[in-house]
Amino acid sequence: MDDVAAYFQAVTELKPETKNYTTWILIAVNEMKGKKIDQLSSMFEHGYKILLDSGVYSLAASHARKNKVTHDTALTTPLKQIEGFESLMTNWKRVVDEYGNRLWGYIELDIGGRDQKIETRTALEEEGYRPIPVIHPLNDGWDYFDEMADKYDRLCLGNLVNAFADKREHILSEALKRRQGKSVKWIHALGVTPSPTWLAYPTESCDSSSFKAPMMYGGELTHITSFNKGLVTNEVYTTKSGQQCHIIQSRQAGILDSHVKSYMGGTDDRIV
């Protein structure tokens, strides 16, 4: 990935000031209610590239909490046991029907396990929808990644949000290796902040909400070092409180991201 680098900032609401950071936005269907749906039109007019998330992550998280199971288990639970799926599907179709041809892309409803995902996607494709498939290699198997990478030009890669650093590195590196010679042209890493690991095993795009870190931590920054990968630059700073702050920029996407980690006491494995 030497010529493409896009960081979709995951938001829960659409605000004009978001453009101070980026024009690449990911927002979930479950967040699209009332005025937020109407705001999409103006966002498009101002040049935003919007990736519509299915809202399945939130739905699975809710099911996991209520039933005291892991998030991965919730993702493979039969649909008839998932409260709220039909409502989510209705809302997904409503947003896609109105804005689908203006969205940068829209992600499939990837819940119910591998076979159920295929059934749901096939039914949607027969209705004329073109959702981006999501691969959870730890749940679906790498053979499913191979199959989808041969069939589709865009894919989303899951199992990354809650993964520890070593597992995340394995998933990204394996995907990078397996995509060679396949039809897939664009892979989006779900829930991944641009970081040293992502720079080592890059996908064409990723998303997270960690661009909010400067607002959370603030303070004066002291520059330490920087490094580059293709069009992506990572500037490393420290804060007065002894934390390390990474400011990650893409010259192509015009993005600005940051995340903060502590020098002492380990790191946040979700963002390294």
- How would you label 135-157 residue by residue, b for 16+ Cβ within 10 Å and e otherwise? bbbebbeeebbebbbeebebbbb
SS3 252: coil
Residue-level pLDDT, tens digit, the chain, 272 residues: 444 568 787 877 666 555 545 678 898 998 877 666 777 877 888 788 899 999 998 999 999 999 999 888 998 899 989 999 999 999 999 999 999 899 999 999 999 999 999 999 999 999 999 999 999 999 999 999 999 999 999 999 999 988 888 999 999 999 999 999 999 999 999 998 877 788 889 899 998 876 554 444 444 545 555 555 555 555 555 555 555 555 555 544 444 444 443 332 333 332 32
Element at 232 (helix H, strand E): strand 232-239
The DSSP bridge partners found for residue 178 are none
Strands (E), 13-169: 24-28, 49-53, 105-106, 134-135, 154-157
Closest CA to 217 of 237, 197, 235: 237
pLDDT of 236 reads 59
**Angle formed at CA 136 by CA 134 and CA 140, multiple of 5 degrees:** 110
pTM here is 0.77
